[in-house]
Structure 1
């Protein structure tokens, strides 16, 4: 699936990273090892609760580190294992089989193209459901490894065994790194903490053949939670662009439970180019739902407040222009406005206009920010029927956002930040 488009290419300076990359439809290209077998190794009859509990509680002590490297030199790394991992080349990927000394090996797929976290998890769960009776699917953790997100999930299931229904557990991890993307699975009850430790260690060790890319001027990573449980992430990167402008790239994935056995997932990528004054010059946006692209829009400034948009939105082709009622806002421009003028000034509210294709692909949408208690950096945010509370840092960037969600709240909270916008 191609999420990032190339509209901004050529508008950037040599130090900016092009806004174009392809994302692999993972793991639909992967071999069948990614799906649980008909009877998982080490599974126990579901009726024998004591056996099931003991199996699910199993963990591994740390193992010795084993080197791994691609025959074509595309990556190197190391991983905990009881022996030498085996590597098999596939189309656009390498399959890594890692012995752990348990009933099933750890299987990892190292891709040659970036992978969407949500789409990969969705397909892994879908594959598991085709061969088993899923009982519960959940996201167990979302963390940052280096400056790339890693998403962990588990699927508890039942399969027919020699003594009736047997309980199984498929553990999954997607490391959405642009240079060395990784998808890992382990189908065996227990070893949940061991799986997280081994796969995170492998991901952290991976090195691509292209060297280390130049650091961005700003980076932040936020985790989204509902009732304390992880349901998504947002990754923001800001780079230098021509003429003192900025290129802001945002990558996000959301995982919402549709039922105890199903997840509804959304992956999105956007690239936003602003001029030296923080005004919008161009924006690309793409979204996939449950692994299938459903929105891909490009916006480009014609002149002044006139913009041209083009793309597809929920199956419909769109092409047109609009004139914005005010300068279109961007992330670095808004941060500057908030920290330099709005927070220290006398105004109690400010109205901004953004291009948000999920809300309206053919016109800008209005967002109203209102100050909270005197001297605080807490603002109320209102965009149509949507309302939230936003807490800013000293740079005018959002540290935390809390939004009502039915009878609970959705909380987006920053867990790492580097640099200045």
Structure 2
């Protein structure tokens, strides 16, 4: 456990570029910070040959000792709850507010979890955990294995396979991107997949913040999983809030992990915050993308008194300062038009939207129209030259979309929702 303590300092700075969801202006004003590169010692691990098992046999094992619910609490770090463990967990809180929760697994390697006082970028946090804990071994491959929705927030599971002195190992990682109390857990041993899932779910759902100041919860939120073929590659989540100045605040965060061996593996965190007025038009919108621990793109548009929009930031490696004419429709505004038009009478919906991933410095024409021969909520969405098949919910929001990706397809589909949009 002591060898994990340096990671508390590594992970406390630079991971959190997403603020509590309601703080839109703070999000727009704040830059993502590159994470420090200070390495940490490798975590305690169980050698491949432990108990005389082959790697194939080791991958099937699980903790046999009974897991019991045990209370954990930290007044200093302001959290408490119940978690699964074989025996009494321990909590160590550092001066920066990051806590290390160690969950004994009997005679097996313990599961270690970090609890953060501030939100984190899931991709950046996963990369730091994997690269820091495995710095002294050869990292062979990294892949996302699952996405869960715990307490209305996404939890990303990953496996990092490595080799060292002729032996192989696997670091299992779970990052729970909870905007109130973010968590990340690791377990360095072959096998124990179901045990790791059960224990980390107990941490994600059972440990709650007791801080006096809590962010305002959204009135609607959802979690989506992203897959290429059968391979999970990440998640997308969005939330809706009532704006104090009128209109609606929309916040979307996504994390994608491209699987493979270094240097092919890539971690991407993207964030969008959008304020729309009563008609659904964009009042202001910010966008940021982070690759690994480094900011890659960041830009913002704001509506001027004459109805035009000023775009400022850095996109595609270039500084951008330009003006866009015409109305830009928000995500919420587009869903309203889909609900009132396409879903009611099959009328196609057309709008201009700012989609940086499609056309960074100009509006993208977007068209949603019924898909011939499909169900009443099936549609085709065209964004410039890109076309995707979508399934809609009653409110006009997309609950599943499928895009071509070489010989297979990228599918993004909803796995949970809370509230009503």
TM-score calculated relative to the size of structure 1: 0.86
Question: How far apart, in 2, do the equivalents of 1:346 and 1:399 lie?
Answer: 18
Is 1:244–1:275's contact at 8 Å kept on the other side of the alignment? yes
Corresponding pairs, count: 399
> What are structure 2's unaligned runs of at least 5 residues?
1-13
- Cα 1:131–1:153 change in 2 (3 A) is same
Q: 2:284 aligns with which of 276, 282, 287?
A: 282
Question: How far apart, in 1, do the equivalents of 2:396 and 2:93 lie?
Answer: 47
- Cα 1:151–1:23 change in 2 (3 A) is farther
User: How far did 1:17 drift?
Assistant: 2.3
TM-score calculated relative to the size of structure 2: 0.86
Q: Which deviates more, 132-141 or 182-191?
A: 132-141
- Cα 1:192–1:262 change in 2 (3 A) is farther
- Matched with 1:411 is 411
- Cα 1:28–1:203 change in 2 (3 A) is farther
Deviations 1:39-88 (A, max 9, x none): x324229xx9x622222211024412222222415111222223322222
SS in 2 for 1:200: helix
- Matched with 1:53 is 56
Residue 210 (str. 1) matches residue 211 (str. 2): yes
Residue 76 (str. 1) matches residue 80 (str. 2): yes
Residue 351 (str. 1) matches residue 359 (str. 2): no
User: How far did 1:328 drift?
Assistant: 0.9
User: How far did 1:24 drift?
Assistant: 8.8
- Matched with 1:11 is none
Question: How far apart, in 2, do the equivalents of 1:76 and 1:143 lie?
Answer: 22
Q: How does 1:179-198 map to 2 (within 5 A)?
A: 179-198=180-199
Superposition RMSD in Å = 2.8
Question: How far apart, in 2, do the equivalents of 1:65 and 1:23 lie?
Answer: 40
SS in 2 for 1:308: strand
- Matched with 2:232 is 230
- Matched with 2:4 is none
- Cα 1:129–1:314 change in 2 (3 A) is farther
Is 1:42–1:103's contact at 8 Å kept on the other side of the alignment? no
- Matched with 1:13 is none
Question: How far apart, in 1, do the equivalents of 2:129 and 2:215 lie?
Answer: 30
- Matched with 1:131 is 136
Residue 323 (str. 1) matches residue 337 (str. 2): no
Question: How far apart, in 2, do the equivalents of 1:94 and 1:118 lie?
Answer: 20
> What are structure 1's unaligned runs of at least 5 residues?
7-15
- Cα 1:131–1:262 change in 2 (3 A) is farther
- Matched with 2:372 is 373
Residue 302 (str. 1) matches residue 304 (str. 2): yes
Question: How far apart, in 2, do the equivalents of 1:390 and 1:210 lie?
Answer: 40
Deviations 1:204-227 (A, max 9, x none): 111112366554222222111122
- Cα 1:236–1:351 change in 2 (3 A) is same
- Cα 1:4–1:170 change in 2 (3 A) is closer
User: How far did 1:102 drift?
Assistant: 3.3
Residue 121 (str. 1) matches residue 126 (str. 2): yes
User: How far did 1:230 drift?
Assistant: 1.5
Is 2:120–2:177's contact at 8 Å kept on the other side of the alignment? yes
Question: How far apart, in 1, do the equivalents of 2:398 and 2:306 lie?
Answer: 28
- Matched with 1:401 is 401
User: How far did 1:355 drift?
Assistant: 1.1
Is 1:27–1:124's contact at 8 Å kept on the other side of the alignment? no
Q: How does 1:58-207 map to 2 (within 5 A)?
A: 58-61=61-64, 62-90=66-94, 91-160=96-165, 165-207=166-208
Question: How far apart, in 1, do the equivalents of 2:253 and 2:332 lie?
Answer: 16
